[in-house]
Chain A
């Protein structure tokens, strides 16, 4: 069993509790995190105050170095902050792709100047980032991307198209993979940063099957990026991208255990409500019951594995190839859960909008559809299986995906 230390940590717990009490606006207690919503609305004064307080404190990214505004806390201290936030009914207002993927990657690969410029605004929640990776012709085979960046002396000139750019319509900056050498595949890719607020950038949201538009098509016509915003070496962007994808996967897999897309109620209580029970209190449809049990068992096994990975990685550095396992396992249980939810609700689970359906039922159908993306984005489940086969199991690679 892990021993996370004794009295010092309890002292820190008191400090964390006190700070949250002093700074978290009571009006937001138990309210959902506005960062988790797809539509960005004007934040309330209290929401803004909470974001600024957490941003100044650095506790939105508790383990990032204090030198760039982060919390500078140990893993154990960070867990205490999270626990105290939960107890207080408080959400973490600092989030998004900057926190989940770009920040950790820049901390590893960026120059001192890049970190000084780009990390503090992420810590403070002032800047939202989007990810310019996939293209119409470069999905699972990401390294075949064509968006071109030409060296124009003090800047790069960028032309091309990205797709599935999450949240591009709300983003301030883009971290983007571009082709800087057309004679090579992986070794001709660079990783650049640029502002979305420039004339050469056009964003078109894409309506999806769930009826929302979380992803965009993004067009670059003579957009520019400063030379100082090249991350890693010229033509060395693929390594940076691979690292970033590991951070992305470790973030995405959390969805399987947490209920990111899921329902508030557990499957067994939903089934009791919609399907009923027999005289022994069992869900009366025994076939459905077995499949619910399997899903709940797999969910629990997934959560136990997440805990185990955390304990084993104590003192270790960041995500590994194991994140591919976690992404596949997590998305599998999540999609199964969404399917089961619909089945449990019967025709009530097919409502699209309007009268006759509870908000829970309407959420179920949208979540079921939206969740189909999870085994496609961030590297499809097939790509994850390729990674497991090659990097963990040492089987030969025929896809030439380095």
Chain B
């Protein structure tokens, strides 16, 4: 755990107790079973917003608390523990970052206060295929109208505003599109992890440019990636702890299976990897707060290391639980499905390994 300020410790503790009391994994299960259209529980999201979580990175003049990315990461980590689904990452982190970094005063005034209070949801629409490829942009804006198609937009159904990458008259950049524009057609995707996602078609939708061009896309994506990594850290730690608890109670051959060295050493390996992954995630978030020039490489380091670690831990969670881990009644499957979706979000391990090396010139 990073060395935290007093405010950060309080924020983390508040998030921990809310998540444990109000949003255990059973809440996620209930949401999934209900077939919730948006992929999250709206009442729970409203509670989070009331606690100010949607405005953690938003400047005070726009209704936020300006606490920074490491602070928001602490909340995401706690939410990740119980797989709590919410637009916090899409809206309070990714869309908010795009507006803070690239929005005009008018755009900020119009949307940041609503995002901070949770009355508007923002989403990031970047990819146009099944793999994360922010460099491949066919969507285009001419005369202020956007045409094209975006895939796997997280919280795309819930969104009130979409932050879309497209080619404009001045090159590739980000554009702000209202989701209720007549030129926006959304198709809900039902994914294995039960979270909200959509494919979105744009046919002449009104689009306002954000400033910052391609560099802005990278900056916003890096913030989103670090946020996903923080959520993944919480999920992976919980998946591990749940598994460890099971190793201590499941009896076979007259002893708890946690006494078998074959399992002990795999548990020790997971614990070691989790410690390493935590360091990478916290370093990436701290670098964003410090606006350090090595944000891109530290984020790719974190997303890749965290992805490998969650991948391993989620597989081991099912394996070490044995048959019970294969049943829908057990939570292991939720963590496994969430792991793969989170790994893919904003670039999987292969994407970020390649990016890490390219940044360093090899």
Q: Mark each residue of chain A from 277 to 293: 1 if its CB lies under 8 Å from any CB of chain B, else 0.
A: 10001110000011011
- Given A282-B357, A395-B248, CB of A271 within 8 Å of CB of B362: yes
Which of the segments A13-21, A44-52, A381-389 contacts the partner chain?
A: A381-389
- Given A1-B3, A300-B301, CB of A393 within 8 Å of CB of B276: no
Those of A324-362 within 8 Å (CB) of chain B: 325, 328-329
Q: Mark each residue of chain B from 20 to 51: 1 if its CB lies under 8 Å from any CB of chain A, else 0.
A: 00000000000000000000000000000000
Contacts of B290 in A (CB 8 A): 1
Q: Is A113 an interface residue (CB 8 A)?
A: no
Those of A352-402 within 8 Å (CB) of chain B: 382, 384-386, 388-389, 392-398
- Given A268-B360, A297-B305, A301-B301, CB of A388 within 8 Å of CB of B271: yes
Contacts of B269 in A (CB 8 A): 385
Which of the segments A161-169, A192-200, A302-310 contacts the partner chain?
A: A302-310
Contacts of B259 in A (CB 8 A): 395-398
Contact between chains at A311 and B3 (CB < 8 Å): yes
Q: How many residues on chain A are close to B (CB under 8 Å)?
A: 45
Q: Is B279 an interface residue (CB 8 A)?
A: yes
Contacts of A292 in B (CB 8 A): 357, 362
Contacts of B276 in A (CB 8 A): 298, 301-302, 304-305, 329
Contacts of A320 in B (CB 8 A): none
CB of B81 to closest CB in A, whole Å: 18
CA distance A281 to B259 in the complex (A): 50
Contact between chains at A301 and B279 (CB < 8 Å): yes
CB of B260 to closest CB in A, whole Å: 8
CB of B301 to closest CB in A, whole Å: 6
Q: Mark each residue of chain A from 242 to 261: 1 if its CB lies under 8 Å from any CB of chain B, else 0.
A: 00000000000000000000
Contact between chains at B301 and A328 (CB < 8 Å): no
Q: Is A312 an interface residue (CB 8 A)?
A: yes
Dominant secondary structure at the A interface: helix
Contact between chains at A293 and B357 (CB < 8 Å): yes
- Given A328-B272, A396-B258, CB of A282 within 8 Å of CB of B283: no
Interface residues of B (CB under 8 A from A): 1-3, 244, 247-248, 255-256, 258-259, 261, 264-265, 267-269, 271-272, 275-280, 282-283, 286, 290, 301, 304-305, 353-354, 356-358, 360-362
CB of A283 to closest CB in B, whole Å: 5
Name the contact of B247 in the complex, choosing from A293, A294, A300, A395 (C-beta under 8 A): A395
Contact between chains at A297 and B356 (CB < 8 Å): yes
CB of A391 to closest CB in B, whole Å: 11
Contact between chains at B264 and A325 (CB < 8 Å): no
Contacts of B264 in A (CB 8 A): 385-386, 389, 393, 395
- Given A301-B280, A395-B247, A396-B258, CB of A277 within 8 Å of CB of B268: no
Contacts of A57 in B (CB 8 A): none
Name the contact of A389 in the complex, choosing from B3, B265, B361 (C-beta under 8 A): B265
Contacts of A115 in B (CB 8 A): none
Most chain B CB within 10 A, of A268, A277, A290, A305, is at A305
Contact between chains at B362 and A289 (CB < 8 Å): yes
Contacts of A308 in B (CB 8 A): 2, 278-279, 282-283
Contacts of A269 in B (CB 8 A): 362
CA distance A304 to B2 in the complex (A): 11
CA distance A238 to B244 in the complex (A): 29
CA distance A296 to B112 in the complex (A): 39
CA distance A325 to B357 in the complex (A): 26
Contact between chains at B268 and A389 (CB < 8 Å): yes
Name the contact of A329 in the complex, choosing from B247, B272, B353, B358 (C-beta under 8 A): B272
Contact between chains at A304 and B279 (CB < 8 Å): yes
Contacts of B277 in A (CB 8 A): 301
